[in-house]
Structure 1
């Protein structure tokens, strides 16, 4: 039988995580390799070659490659973007510079607004006007568009975002502007707001469209380079890129709409959390992904991953559906430092992959969280990365001494302080992610994954009052595992503003139009009709409110009964989120949303056979809450399904380790995950 190999790749700031699925047998393998920031495709292909050699499959057998990437995010964060321009309705050329004047940090003495993506001198206005109801108020002056195109050509602009007022209601003028610019500016990336974000709020729509336009040359260059290399080495593979909504799309769409990739990598972890929630019977999970550079928090509540209609990158709004994620700069590579007040601080700057933490032996001299864990005995320098990358304990000690000296502390106490400060930051990020939704951490289990997460999870859970921590199989590469199980997904929307009851009779026709568009996209991806699925939602608000909430629908039912059900769900969600509701106030609809899913085939995972725990293989001194204690070290496979192992203990696997404090026990679930429960308060 011909092999069907599927590979999922999550390229992080420090390591590239790879999951390999043999669809014929259901066997799943994992591998990690250092990332190559200068060209991520190099690390990706290196990992695939290593996997081919280690697990014995020919590269020609790779049928699918599902790829999470941070290339779009990094380009924005580092502002390594091409020269771009904005074309908008005359009189609205200053929207990018004005932005929004809300204060997210009300205690900040000064307000620092993000630098606009496009300089004011490259924001051009054209004479035209469309009303909010879609009526043409003033015709488009095409000669003005041609004059702007000539100026853009002379300036050497590589990207243009076209964002006309109210084009979401009637895109005719915007599309005509796009046609003229495409004809006069061959090779220049043109993005239309009516294609990228056809929704109200001009600043958010313009920011999103400008981001997309500026990213097109960068992402297309990368995908072209990747496709060329894959054609040479993995010729049979079909490539999909992971989107911020947790689904995947083909290279063509990713090249046209790269703004949808801004949470590409982390969304794989949230997708994995949703699958594990059902598999483990844990409807409420707070999923925490701690890698080398960052700490990402997502939430599964009642079996559903939290989605938002708008996120942000580097303070810039992105008005696109995405998995709700909170990210802080706290990973294994986060650097410890002492501020002017002689306080120990962690991050957000990171040692990254090159040179990495001091213990990597690549020339790094700064003390990092990974160095601290090594000094405390929670990591074994000899078995790190399965023994392929031994750690230098003395280099870690030298790095710790530079921080310990100004603090007047010993090396061990400094390392313990680094862990305490890091754990507090992680706990705060989780608290905020739950509290802002009106949720209590004690009602949740924690799903811990990422290469650096296992040695922190139980202590962070204690600080939050969480009594159960789940360490999934392949924890170190779980985002890639989640990507492996992803489906093709396309988000479509239609702005519909007015009282829900009044607009309901016309929503059926709007829904039919969205379905037609979705069917075309799924057909482009080669998805068979039987594998297509549609998920509906509406954005609702109380009449007079300036914000709205996304309310999922079981079906596109806009009868009186369907509207009543959706309104009741909105009232309940509003009360959960803001502690009050107003059922007597009329409900307005803002947008109708459709998520079109093309399901990819998935094998049935194997279950864990019941068995008792095997003896610990060794022990070593490990610093817990106080002095070092001789602590047994277990291999992950030695933890049984029937006899829990009590802490303190260390559990090791090739790419990550777990630190189990005293007062906790751990056992293997039949699905392969390790379940740690808090049994006593310490």
Structure 2
């Protein structure tokens, strides 16, 4: 039987399942220790790697499966299913005459000068888009009623098409969901095997294209995520493992497995959002308001920005050029990780990524049959990775296989030595990483030199200093358990429900009579969600915000509300805050112009108990560092190699040096030094 939100068992686990490795962070309240663990991901069924990692961690760190109270689970399964098109057959039900909304989209050209620009994918073909006779007006009133005959005709069409899931998105249903609710109720009785997703329950917002796209993605993901959760649940039951399972959402919070099964589109940034949450935590610990978090794993490089101690949450994102209208942490991701493959084009130009060797077969140095030259192979070839103690000694790397891959894939096509080719591969990679950072900061009008970089993920430590040099950043933090930091952020997550009500309303006192009932309904819904999750009253928190714009604008800014009440004084403060935010974002504001409220938002937050971790113990052995031949700046050098676990607080290391820990390594270049602080983090700075 699963534990409730109020039951406290001593062990909590945060899990981030990536494309190459499954990362775990485990907190044991009995000792106050937090420790990381890493195991290869099993793409054919990620729950296999998950349970394998948990059992191995239990054996290594001395806890029993029955001791685990919470399992907080981040995953890339939803994103991968869309990108790889591993989706069930779906049908879209919409108002008759609006079957082509997905193809019409928005009249925005991404590739301005392309002669044949690519259109966003349409995941449901035209013959599977069903127009049903009904119509709700723009004010929410019914113009054409939904009849029983129309419902019966829908059922007959569905029988002919035989889909696994149905997306229901009717015109103006965000104002009046009655027809969508009737369709869902009818199908639940007439075709109970169908998975149905209604836009009014998922994303009750204005703008039919974005709402339709979000609902379609959600419907197509329901069979995928429900199938995975069934496998995971059965695997956990077979092991006698019964923690409270919570899934990480794109907004950085967690939700119940039941919510995840019904609204899987909320999991699209499940894993990366944990890294952003960890950076926000580190902002307070380090006393740094402005951080740039860089997460480099085996497959991708994710950039998140912390400004004034907070990670930005946007109300709309996208996956594979398709809009997703749900709150999500703002993250920029590129295909650049340790497993990214290098290719030499016909014009002798080398590219790195976005294709990845993944975990199977993985880089050539893994010895699993991989033959392409990867970033990890280059680091092994140049002595920057210890081939005898990879993954904490759990895997021995094949250095000769790495050299052969670099020689065959890069060196010979370019007429270079193996070392020069590997160094060039890393230079291209670092340039790509630097470009992603600059773009993430420049688009916000800020200078990279004003930010401290937080480098985490299994591969970031070897690249961070070089990328900092590339971008002008002069301070880099290598956190404790950097390789599993996203899982650390997940470990500290709270339960969050995001709710919204859309209605375009003039932001003036006369509109309060319309706004107040919407707010009351929103707050009642928020409290009901927390009731369903059994959150104690003392652990509840609700935040309100409004999407606002100047009348005539086609975009909104989300403005936090200062309280849960909205009277004339609170409305005046909200409008003033909108003007201030508009000025910050766009360098101007128009206080005399009319302002509209487009949507009201609520975040219902259930505070989960937080790990009370003890600072890591120092184990200064007093031994001098070892040395290793490392290729730097065009030649081999004897470089000091330190063990991070043996560095006491205050210890300072001058570059060039390599600092090794169980699941990652840090490379310090010339002109850099780093110091271990009292929290166990390594803080590096350029002094030349």
User: TM-score, length-normalised on structure 1?
Assistant: 0.97
Contact 1:612 1:642 in 2 (8 A): no
Which sections of structure 2, spanning at least 5 residues, go unmatched? 1-6
Partner of 2:4: none
Partner of 1:349: 355
1:197 equivalent in alignment to 2:180: no
Match for residue 517 of structure 1 among 517, 522, 525:
525
Deviation string 1:581-611 (CA, Å, 9 cap, x unpaired) is: 3333222211111111111111322235789
Over 3 Å counting, the alpha-carbon distance change for 1:614 and 1:510 in structure 2 is farther
Deviation string 1:186-244 (CA, Å, 9 cap, x unpaired) is: 21001100011100111110010011111111111111111111122143311111111
Which sections of structure 1, spanning at least 5 residues, go unmatched? none
Partner of 1:454: 461
Partner of 1:466: 473
Partner of 2:189: 183
1:487 equivalent in alignment to 2:483: no
Contact 1:640 1:667 in 2 (8 A): no
Partner of 2:570: 562
Partners of 1:9 and 1:671 in 2: how far apart? Answer: 22
1:396 equivalent in alignment to 2:418: no
Match for residue 146 of structure 1 among 144, 152, 163:
152
After the TM superposition, which residues 153-232 of structure 1 pair with which residues of structure 2 at under 5 Å, given as runs?
153-232=159-238
Over 3 Å counting, the alpha-carbon distance change for 1:392 and 1:493 in structure 2 is same
How many correspondences in the alignment? 680
After the TM superposition, which residues 97-496 of structure 1 pair with which residues of structure 2 at under 5 Å, given as runs?
97-402=103-408, 403-496=410-503
Contact 1:438 1:576 in 2 (8 A): no
After the TM superposition, which residues 532-611 of structure 1 pair with which residues of structure 2 at under 5 Å, given as runs?
532-607=540-615
Match for residue 657 of structure 1 among 665, 683, 687:
665
Aligned with 2:71: secondary structure? strand
| Larger displacement relative to structure 2 (351-360 or 378-387) | 378-387
- Deviation for aligned residue 1:37: 0.1
Partner of 2:516: 508
1:46 equivalent in alignment to 2:52: yes
- Deviation for aligned residue 1:341: 2.1
Over 3 Å counting, the alpha-carbon distance change for 1:63 and 1:611 in structure 2 is closer
Contact 2:29 2:612 in 1 (8 A): no
Contact 1:614 1:639 in 2 (8 A): no
Deviation string 1:406-438 (CA, Å, 9 cap, x unpaired) is: 111111111111111111111111111112222
Contact 2:650 2:678 in 1 (8 A): no
Aligned with 1:659: secondary structure? strand
CA root-mean-square deviation: 1.8
| Larger displacement relative to structure 2 (163-172 or 628-637) | 628-637
Partners of 2:492 and 2:657 in 1: how far apart? Answer: 32
Partners of 1:283 and 1:226 in 2: how far apart? Answer: 39
After TM superposition, the runs of 4+ consecutive aligned structure 1 residues lying more than 6 A away are 609-613
Partners of 2:133 and 2:301 in 1: how far apart? Answer: 47
User: TM-score, length-normalised on structure 2?
Assistant: 0.96
Partner of 1:633: 641
Over 3 Å counting, the alpha-carbon distance change for 1:588 and 1:88 in structure 2 is same
Aligned with 1:265: secondary structure? helix
Over 3 Å counting, the alpha-carbon distance change for 1:116 and 1:217 in structure 2 is same
- Deviation for aligned residue 1:62: 1.4
Partners of 1:37 and 1:144 in 2: how far apart? Answer: 43
Contact 2:206 2:503 in 1 (8 A): no
Partners of 1:404 and 1:585 in 2: how far apart? Answer: 62
Contact 2:618 2:645 in 1 (8 A): no
Contact 2:505 2:598 in 1 (8 A): yes
Partner of 2:93: 87
| Larger displacement relative to structure 2 (553-562 or 433-442) | 553-562
